[in-house]
Amino acid sequence: MNELLEGVLKGLMSRYKERVPDVSAVMAAMKKEGVIQNDQEIENDHIAFRSLGVPHLGIQSLEKVFLHLGYTKRDYYFFPEKKLNAYWYAPPAEKFPRIFVSELRVGDLSPASQELIHKYTGTLNSDPVDSLDLNDAGKVDAFLHSHFWSIPTLQDYLALHKESEYAAWVMYNKYYLNHFTISVHSLKAGYNTIQEFNAFLERNGFVLNDSGGKYKESPDGLLLQSSTVAKMIEAEFANGEKHTISGSYVEFAERRVLPQFRSLPPQEIGRQHRREGFEAQNANRIFESTYSSQTTKLS
Ligand code: OOG
Ligand code: NI
């Protein structure tokens, strides 16, 4: 099972790296400053997917893939303003990343936007995961990068974008990895807090999402997160029309040691001694890494 999961994650990461130049750029900057010698030293805290809450798709469909690969469903999060649901999933072993899956609450959108989405997804009459061979890493990888609906017209994309930037993002980007996350607490001193890591990112020219501040802190003070602003990619819409849209980004997380384990020697600290899970108020701001309020800072 773990080999299968390794194969799927490898496929996801290689396409993500091709598409998000910040991934290799952050790693190169870390090597330049001697933080890491090679990419494998980086701990991937979590990866994230977005989806559409419509019949046969959404969380209930996508999660089947990861439950099959050994993940366990954990907490639910609700984002009323962005009209999203999300869950996180714990990996079968510590060496694998957690997974954060969100979905658009399509029924909460205006009738016009709902109609636009259904125009594309309404052709599905079964859950595509149900006909997928989940024991074949190559097939799962291809599935996660395939189309379940036709490429939208630019006009429909822009109409959706006005009401929900998340909706427009998924309509075009589908299940492309939305981000991977570097665990900064596992890095060497000088880089292992979110403030220090953000300073490193900024002196190397990376632009941070500053919605709610350049890092987001959970109310318990134990989960601190920051992220780059998504890079713009040239997208080709139906009829060959082109437009630049936001792609994916990179996230950074510091999970602090829980109070009851603070007296443990540093070399004994493992994942189970640190803050687990996610935080709705942090996530609410991190979503905006692909929103134009943030991406326009790049131009
Ligand atoms: C996910 C945003 C939330 C986190 O770690 O809280 C998130 C997204 O942009 O799809 O990644
Ligand atoms: Ni995240």
Distance CA 248, CA 290 (A): 7
Residues near ion ligand 2 (Cβ under 5 Å): 48, 251
Tell me the ligand closest to 249's alpha carbon. 1
Confidence at residue 297, expressed as pLDDT on a 0 to 100 scale: 85
Residue 289 has pLDDT above 90, yes or no: yes
Q: What's the pLDDT tens digit per position in 245-268?
A: 999 999 999 999 999 999 999 999
DSSP conformational letter for 258: P
Residue 143 has pLDDT above 70, yes or no: yes
Section 24-48 average pLDDT:
97
Distance CA 56, CA 136 (A): 21
| Ligand 1: residue whose CA is nearest its atom 7 | 283
For the chain, helix, strand, coil in percent to 5 are: 45, 20, 35
CA of 250 relative to ligand 1 center, distance in Å: 10
Domains in the chain (CATH in brackets) are 2-298 (3.10.180.50)
Say if residues 69 and 137 touch (Cβ distance below 8 Å).
no
**Whole-structure pTM over 0.90, yes or no?**
yes
Residue 1 has pLDDT above 90, yes or no: no
CA of 54 relative to ligand 1 center, distance in Å: 20
CA of 227 relative to ligand 1 center, distance in Å: 9
Is the complex ipTM more than 0.95? yes
Confidence at residue 237, expressed as pLDDT on a 0 to 100 scale: 98
